[in-house]
Structure 1
Amino acid sequence: MRSFRIEAPEPVPVPVPVGTATDALVSALVTAGWMLAVAIPAYAVGRVVVVPATARVVRSRNPHNPTIVDATRTYVTVLVLVVAAMLGLVAGGYGRTLASSTVVIAAVTLAVGIAGQDLIGSLVSGLFLVADPEFNVGDWIEWPGGEGRVERVDFRSTRVGTVANAVVTVPNTVLTADAVVRPYARGHVRARETVPVAYGDDLAGATRELAVAVATVEGVADATAPRAWIETLGDDNVTLTVEYRIDDPTVSRVKHVRATVRDRAVDALQSIGATPGPPAGRELSGAVTTGDFE
């Protein structure tokens, strides 16, 4: 039998138009140009006009709440950035893509929500702190983890300056979940100092002298006179407490005034013959008998 072999023809190369790659590059550059031409001016107008105008409106309605004014600038700036990016995408011809990607956007939103639930919780907590009229930048606060002066409220956390001259970053969720004490009123910090004295001392004179001595400390508020009283009756001593307020509280000022109050309290009690911090002691009474042992 005679065999036949069929050979496939050589593939004929299809010529690629030279202008196709160039046209694609030009199209991409034009798209990017339109996106930037719209997004950059929109962001600039938002930063120069919208953000300051919104901050002025919020400041006029909340003149004594700098926290909400500062947070308004931050949140509105982020909003302006998002709006500018969306306008740039629409100008670049991606408007229909965004409109037809509802399912994709929903899935991405769900994934981001699950992955960043802690971050979202801190953000929501930060919004609650900003909206709280009793929580402002410059206020002195106490929470279970410490105390200090509020310096800034951010998206995720709040910066607090402590008595030890350190800056602590406290998550917003901690401040909204735990009890926060605000020992201040009209720019003052309320402070207390306790001093143990002996039972045999003149307690009435000691409380009176303690209040007078603390009132002379520089930095203690004159508007509210210090008060002293007997706090507890212990096994070995009597605890006296003096309460006072500190003017214009700052981290270093509060630390200095508290240290000065302790020194003045000890000196004042010793000047009237009292014994601050008496040592523990026990008085024994009775009789000892002995017997004859064989």
Structure 2
Amino acid sequence: MLQVQTVLEAIDVGTVATGVVAFVVGFVVVLLLGKVAFVPVVRRALGTRGFDDAVRSLGTSVANAVVWLAAIAVAFTVAGFGAFLSAFAVFGGAFALAIGFAAQDLLGNFVAGIFILKDKPFEVGDWIEWEGNSGRVEDIDLRVSRVRTFDNERITVPNGDLANNAVTNPVAYETLRQKFVFGIGYDDDIDEATDYILEAAREHPEILEDPAPSVRLVDLGDSDVGLQARIWIEEPDRADFMRVRSEYVQAVKERFDEEGIDIPYVHRELTGSVELVERAAEPPE
């Protein structure tokens, strides 16, 4: 009892009470100011700059976390626990650095997701191509994007792969140009074949007249002359892209058949000789 009484006498009750009150007041004041002023300002600033809902939600969450940390720091400082706060800050910084090194790929994908949502190189519903893959974007998250392939498979792609590599977005504009090379024989008339290719394009209702279809001679192959047709379609979509091209190529092929224009293929002739060797069978031992 004597030791407890000595400890109680050593403690300045007034100082402790003052410190507790200062801590509570400082914490509450900073927290309220942050919630009323800082967080709404961050939310409005992100909305004004046209950021996606996911980015605005993330920014609001980060702003709330900053307010709570600031409230705790100010409360400890006002209460006279600056030394404790400094030690905690050093420990927290070392811990955050270790976590950053351990999760750098995760954080990289996270940051890449923010830039994708901000810069909008593609949006949900777009058909994209990257690193030999292609598909339609189903979802853009802060860490990964989900793409449905045209074989009805889902690919979960880290956002870092899409942000750090070239991504083709064929539906980014209102029109899309398609190219296809038709091979004709060396004995066929190039101008005549060109007219048939252009007529087939003009007769297709979904091929645009402006920009007008065109044909270029692009190759003199071993067995054919390559004529490249260039046509444009409006409001491109993967399904329309494949369907229109298929219908157009079929129409040109049928017209070539009607007009007697050859679509040659490579002929290969194998020559050589076979040598027969007769050998007497050895008697069994």
Asked if 1 retains the 8 angstrom alpha-carbon contact of 2:122 and 2:169, the reply is no
Structure 2 gaps of 5+ residues are 1-23, 77-83, 270-285
Aligned length: 232
Residue aligned with 2:252, SS: helix
3-state SS of paired residue (1:230):
strand
Structure 2 counterpart of 1:246:
233
Whether 1:75 aligns to 2:61 is: no
Counterparts in 2 of 1:191 and 1:202: CA distance versus 1, 3 Å = same
**Residues 92, 107 of structure 1: alpha-carbon distance in 2 compared, 3 angstrom cutoff:** closer
1:164 & 1:235 partners in 2: Cα distance? 35
Among 183, 190, 194, the alignment partner of 1:203 is: 190
CA separation of 1:201/1:145 partners in 2, compared to 1, >3 Å: closer, same or farther? same
Residue 178 of structure 1 aligns with which residue? Answer: 165
Q: Could you tell me how far apart the structure 1 residues matched to 2:238 and 2:176 are?
A: 11
2:122 is the alignment partner of 1:136? yes
The one-character-per-residue Cα deviations of 1:98-154 (angstroms, maximum 9, x if unpaired) are: 775222221222122112211222233334444547x23265543332334555543
Aligned position for 2:259: 272
Amino-acid identity (%): 30
Offset, 1:77: 0.5
Q: Distance in 2 between matches of 1:244 and 1:147?
A: 22
Distance in 2 between residues matched to 1:216 and 1:171, nearest whole Å: 44
Deviation at 1:248, TM superposition (A): 1.3
Q: Distance in 1 between matches of 2:246 and 2:153?
A: 18
CA gap of 1:233–1:251, structure 2 versus 1, over 3 A, is same
Once the two structures are superposed, the pairs formed by residues 1-294 of structure 1 within 5 Å of their partners are 51=43, 53-54=44-45, 57-59=48-50, 69-70=51-52, 73-85=53-65, 87=67, 96=76, 101-132=88-119, 135-137=121-123, 140-150=127-137, 152-164=139-151, 166-183=153-170, 186-276=173-263, 278-281=264-267
Check 1:185–1:50 CA distance in 2 against 1; reply closer, same or farther (3 A cut).
closer
Output one character per residue of 1:12-52: Cα deviation in whole Å (capped at 9) or x when no partner.
xxxxxxxxxxxxxxxxxxx9xx99xx79xx59x969x975x
**Residues 176 and 233 of structure 2 are in contact (CA less than 8 Å); yes or no, is this contact kept in structure 1?**
yes
Instruction: Give me the whole-angstrom Cα distance separating, in 1, the residues matched to 2:102 and 2:69.
Output: 26
Q: Alignment partner of 2:49: what SS?
A: helix
For residues 183 and 238 of structure 1, what CA distance do their matches in structure 2 show? 29
Partner deviation per Cα, 1:241-273 (whole Å, 9 max, x = no partner): 212222212232223223223322322322322
RMSD: 3.8
Distance of 1:162 and 1:222 partners within structure 2: 31
SS of alignment partner, residue 101 of structure 1: helix
TM-score for both structures, normalised by structure 2? 0.63
For structure 1, the 5+ residue unaligned runs are 1-30, 60-68, 284-294
Judge conservation of contact 1:217–1:261 (CA < 8 Å) in 2. Answer: yes
Counterpart amino acid of residue 197 in structure 2: L
Give the partner amino acid of 1:269: F
